[in-house]
Amino acid sequence: DTGVSQNPRHKITKRGQNVTFRCDPISEHNRLYWYRQTLGQGPEFLTYFQNEAQLEKSRLLSDRFSAERPKGSFSTLEIQRTEQGDSAMYLCASSLAGRVYGYTFGSGTRLTVV
Amino acid sequence: AQKITQTQPGMFVQEKEAVTLDCTYDTSDQSYGLFWYKQPSSGEMIFLIYQGSYDEQNATEGRYSLNFQKARKSANLVISASQLGDSAMYFCAMREGAAGANNLFFGTGTRLTVIP
């Protein structure tokens, strides 16, 4: 197992376009998290899944954002009608419920909206 | 109020010297966990060290140690014998609640530069 994988690594899109990112967690991890990190800031929580159920969504997750984890394995994060303020690094992490620590992060997808 | 505060935007340290990165936290939970992550320019968040709120001893992992002062709500990271490869952003984070609970709250980070 090579850890948490995120694709693509970089995405440049025009304002108003839709984008989709993918995260493949560590296979035995049942929890999956999405974070957003803007320049000069720490990551901010967006949402998390336990298996296929989306259990929590941050107020940062506007109605233009949607996340899915259809079979409890990989997850996708879609942003519709992108805005320049969506430019950020989108980080995915996974963990095993019940473990005190062990959040493993992916390398992120850097989104630039032009 | 911010849950995690890192007051040092940037720090410099001479190679082979020790450095302390500050972190204070704010929570009313009795059970919580504190983490330090390293983020190189490539972007991935690398786990360094963990301290549980009920752990009586300070956590250590190789050259990393966490100076946990519960009454002061501080969880400073000490890096001993700094190496050039330690140059990166460092983030303090907190998980509130019992084990397996939800997301992490991060500070704004400290950029560490190791000088040869």
User: Cβ–Cβ of B33/A44 closer than 8 Å?
Assistant: no
User: Cβ–Cβ of B43/A110 closer than 8 Å?
Assistant: yes
Could you tell me the pLDDT band of residue B48, with boundaries at 50, 70 and 90? very high
Nearest CA in chain A to B49: A101
Residue A1 has pLDDT above 60, yes or no: no
Average pLDDT on A100-110 reads 86
User: Cβ–Cβ of A98/B99 closer than 8 Å?
Assistant: yes
Mean pLDDT for all residues in chain A: 92
Task: For residue B103, give the nearest of A41, A48, A105 by CB distance.
Answer: A48
Residue B100 has pLDDT above 60, yes or no: no
CB contacts < 8 A, A to B, total 63
Nearest CA in chain A to B104: A45
User: Cβ–Cβ of B108/A100 closer than 8 Å?
Assistant: no
In this predicted model, which residue has the larger pLDDT, B44 or B102?
Answer: B44
Could you tell me the pLDDT band of residue A49, with boundaries at 50, 70 and 90? very high
Could you tell me the pLDDT band of residue B99, with boundaries at 50, 70 and 90? low
B54: contact with A, CB 8 A cutoff: no
CA distance A2 to A36: 22
Average pLDDT on B29-51 reads 92
Mean pLDDT for all residues in chain B: 93
Average pLDDT on A84-109 reads 88
Residues of chain B with C-beta less than 8 angstroms from the C-beta of A103: 35, 47, 104
Average pLDDT on A9-36 reads 95
Q: Judge if the upstream peptide bond of residue A25 is cis by omega within 30 degrees of 0.
A: no
Could you tell me the pLDDT band of residue A65, with boundaries at 50, 70 and 90? very high
User: Cβ–Cβ of B43/A44 closer than 8 Å?
Assistant: no
Q: Tell me the three-class secondary structure of B66-116, residue by residue.
A: EEEECCCCEEEEEECCCCHHHCEEEEEEEEECCCCCCCEEECCCEEEEEEC
User: Cβ–Cβ of B91/A43 closer than 8 Å?
Assistant: yes
B35: contact with A, CB 8 A cutoff: yes
DSSP labels, chain A: ----EEE-SEEEE-TT--EEEEEE--TT--EEEEEEE-TTS--EEEEEEETTEEEEE-TTS-TTEEEE-TTSS-EEEEESS--GGG-EEEEEEEE-TT-SS--EE---EEEEE-
Helix and strand counts by DSSP (H, E) for chain B: 0, 12
Share of chain B above pLDDT 90, in %: 84
Average pLDDT on A25-30 reads 91
Residue B98 has pLDDT above 80, yes or no: no
